[in-house]
A and B are shown apart, each in its own frame.
Chain A
Amino acid sequence: MIELGIETWINFWKSNVCETDWYYRLRQRPDLQIVFVLLVVVLSVSIFAPIISPHDPAVQDLYGKNQWMSADHWFGTDYLGRDLFSRVVCGLQTSMTIAVTTIATTFVIGTMIGSYAGYKGGWVDNVISRVIDVFLAFPSIILALALVTFLDSGILNMILMLVIAQWASFARLMRGQVLVEKNAEYILSACAAGLPGWWILIKHLIPNCIMSVVVLATLELGHVILTISTLSFLGLGLSPSIPEWGSMINAGLDSMRTAPLNVVVPGLSITTVALLFNLAGEGIRDIIDPGTDAEGSLWTF
C-alpha cells in the first residue's frame, strides 16, 4: 500500500522536478529567480488590489489635486485629486485580468487548432493555414480597430477582441512544432503500435511541442498589456470609469506640463510589468532551449 504522506510528495518533487535539466539551469540563473519572484509579487498585488490600495481610486479631492509624492499619497495625486498609487494598483488588476484571460483562451484555442492542423495534414491543414494567414495579415491594433466598430466597450469584449487578434500566431507556432515532431521515431512507433490518432496527439505530440508555445504565451502577456493600454489610451475598448493605465495617461495629457506624475507613473507601471513578462519569457526559453546565448538575461553571471 502506498502511503501518501508528506514524504512521498517530497520524494516525488525531488525525483520529478529537482533532477530535470531546466531546474538545474534555473538554479544557475539568480537573475531569473528574481524575475519570477517579482512576477509572483505583481500577480498577488493584482489579485489583492482592493485590499492593498490605501485610498479609494475613485474618490476625488479637488483641493488636493496634482500633489507630488508624499507619505499619504505615495505616487502623488492626479488632476482630480485621486490617489495615483491606488489607481495604478487597480489599473494593474484591470490589465492583468484581461491579459491573463486573453492569453489563457488564446493558448487553448491556438494549441488545439494548430496541433490538429499540423497532425492531420492534407486539405484540413491547408484550409486552417490559409485562415491563419488571413488573421496574420492584420497588424493586431488594426484588427482591434476594425472590431471596435461592432463590439461595445467592456472587459469581456476587450478580451474577445484580443483573442481574435492573437490566436493565429499561437496556432501557427503550434502547427510548425507539430509538423517537425510528427516525423520523430517515437510518434512513428506509436502509430505502428496501433494507438488511435487522438491519443497520439494528446498524449505524445502536444506535451512535446507545448514548451515553445509557453514561451510565446509569456512574451505575449507583455505584448497584450501594451496593446490593452494602447487601445484604452485611444479611448477604445474600456469604459472611462474603469481605472486603466492607458486611459490614465490620456487623461493626464492636459496637465502633464505642471503635473508630470499623471503620465509618468502609469507609463512606468506598464513598462515594468511588460519588462517582467519579457524577461520571464526569454528566461524560460533559455532554460528549456540552452542553445541560445542567454538572451533574456540583463547581466550574464
Chain B
Amino acid sequence: MHHYLIKRIIYLIFTLVIASMFVFVVVNATPGESAEVLARHLYIGLEEIAPPELIAEVSERYDLNKPILQLYLEWIGGILRGDLGYSILFNKPVNRLLMLHLPPTIFLTVVAMVFATTTGLVLGIFSALHQNRILDHIIRVGTIFSVSMPGFWVAVMLILVFSMWFGLTPISGYGGPPYIILPAIALGLHTMASITRIMRTSMLETMNKPFVMFAKAKGLPKRRVIVSHVCKNALLPVLTIIGTSFGTLLAGSVVIETIFSWPGIGAMLMKAISARDFVLIESTIMMVVFMFLIVNFVIDLLYHVIDPRIIYD
C-alpha cells in the first residue's frame, strides 16, 4: 500500500509538471499575436489596429520577448513559492483573483454534484428495482436524452422557460438559493444521467450475485437486502464516475458561468482568453487540472477503504 501510494504521488507530480509545460508552451507559442491582442484590450479599442511601436512596448513591458524557458522557470518558481503570477487584464495578483472567483465555482460545482449524485442514485435505484416496467423505460429515455443535450442549450432553455416565461427564477447573477437552482441543474444534468445509468446497471448486476441470494434465503426483509447488501456493493462504479465527472463539471462551469454571469473562474477564464492575459490563463488552467487530479487521486485511494478486496500492485 505504501509503495503504491508513493508511486501514485510520483506519477501525480510528473503529470502536473508535463501538463504545466504543455499549457505554457501552447499559451506562449505566439507571443507577437498575444502582444497585439493585449495592446488592443489594454490601450486602444478592440476594433483598432495596433501600431508596431505599441506592440513592441507591450511586449517589452509584459516580458513577452523573453525566452520561453526563462519565462517558464520564473512562472513555475513562483508557483512553488505560492505566487501564481500577476494578471495584466485585471491588474491584480492571480492569487487574489482566484481567492475571489474560486469559491463561487466550487460552490456551483459542489451543488451540481450533490444534485447529480442524489437524484442520479435515487433514479438509478428506482429504475433497477422496477426493471422493464413503464417508469424504468421513462427514466431510461430521460437519461439518454439528457446525455445527448448540450449543457449550454439546457441552460438557455431553462432560462427561457423558468425565468422568461414563468418568471420563477432570476435570469442570471450571483446570490442566494434562487440564483443557484438553474445553473446547478444545467451543469449537473449530464452527470445525473450517467450516475443514473451506472447505478441501474450496477444494481442489476449486484442483484444476481450469490451473496444477495444468500441474504434473501436467510429471510432478511427485502428493504434490508436492498439497502445494506445491494446498494452498498453497487456503489463502487458510481464512485469512479463521480471522480471523472468532477472534471466534466469544472469544465462545464466555464460555459454555464458565462451564460448565467456567475462570477467564477470559468467566466474569468473566458475573459482572460479573449484578452490573452497569458499568466492568468496558464495559472487558472493549471488550477483546474490540479483540482481534477487531486479529486481522482483521493477517489482512487477511497476505493480501498470502501472495497478492501481491491489490492494495489
When the two chains form the complex, which single residue of A142, A147, A271 contacts B288, counting CB atoms closer than 8 Å? A142
Interface string of B97-124 (1 = CB under 8 A from A): 0000000000000000000000000000
Interface membership of A270, Cβ < 8 A? yes
Size of the B side of the interface (Cβ < 8 Å), in residues, is 53
Chain A residue nearest to B288 in the complex (CB): A142
Nearest chain B CB to A285's CB is how many angstroms away? Answer: 12
Q: Is residue B255 contacting chain A, with contact meaning CB distance below 8 A? A: yes
Interface check A149, CB cutoff 8 A: yes
Partner of A130, one of B14, B33, B164: B14
Cβ-closest chain B residue relative to A279: B144
Q: Please measure, in the bound complex, the distance between the C-alpha atom of A227 and the C-alpha atom of B53, giving whole angstroms.
A: 39
Interface of chain B: mostly helix, strand, loop or mixed: helix
Stretch at the interface among B146-154, B219-227, B301-309: B146-154
Stretch of B19-27, B76-84, B173-181, B233-241 that contacts chain A: B19-27
B285 touches A267 (CB 8 A): no
A243-257 vs B, CB cutoff 8 Å, 1 = contact: the mask equals 000100100010011
- Judged by a CB distance under 8 angstroms, whether B262 is at the interface is no
Q: A246 to chain B: which residues have CB within 8 Å?
A: 150, 152
Cross-chain contact of B137 among A275, A278, A295, A299 (Cβ < 8 A): A299
Complex Cα–Cα for A295 and B269 (A): 38
Nearest to B14 among chain A residues (CB) is A130
Q: Is A234 an interface residue (CB 8 A)?
A: yes
| Of A21-29, A67-75, A133-141, the one with at least 4 CB within 8 A of chain B | A133-141
Q: Is the CB of B289 within 8 A of A274?
A: no
Q: Which residue of A lies closest to B150 (CB)?
A: A226
- Whether B293 sits at the interface, judged by CB under 8 Å, is yes
Which residues B233-285 have CB closer than 8 A to chain A? Answer: 247-248, 250-252, 254-255, 258, 269-270, 273, 276, 278, 281, 285
CA distance A145 to B140 in the complex (A): 33
Residues of B6-42 contacting chain A, CB below 8 A: 11, 14-16, 18-19, 22-23, 26-27, 29-30, 33-34
Decide if A149 touches B276 in the complex (CB within 8 Å): yes
Closest-by-CB residue of B relative to A219 is B147
Task: Offer 24 A-B interface pairs, CB within 8 angstroms, sorted by A.
Answer: A134-B18, A138-B19, A139-B292, A140-B251, A141-B255, A146-B281, A146-B285, A147-B26, A148-B273, A149-B26, A149-B34, A150-B27, A233-B150, A233-B152, A233-B255, A234-B254, A234-B255, A249-B156, A256-B164, A257-B160, A264-B157, A272-B148, A274-B150, A275-B148
Closest 10 CB pairs of A and B: A139-B251, A275-B148, A267-B153, A274-B148, A139-B247, A141-B251, A150-B29, A134-B18, A226-B150, A271-B149
Interface residues of A (CB under 8 A from B): 130-131, 133-134, 137-142, 145-150, 222, 226, 229-230, 233-234, 236, 246, 249, 253, 256-257, 260, 263-264, 267, 270-272, 274-275, 278-279, 292-293, 295, 298-300
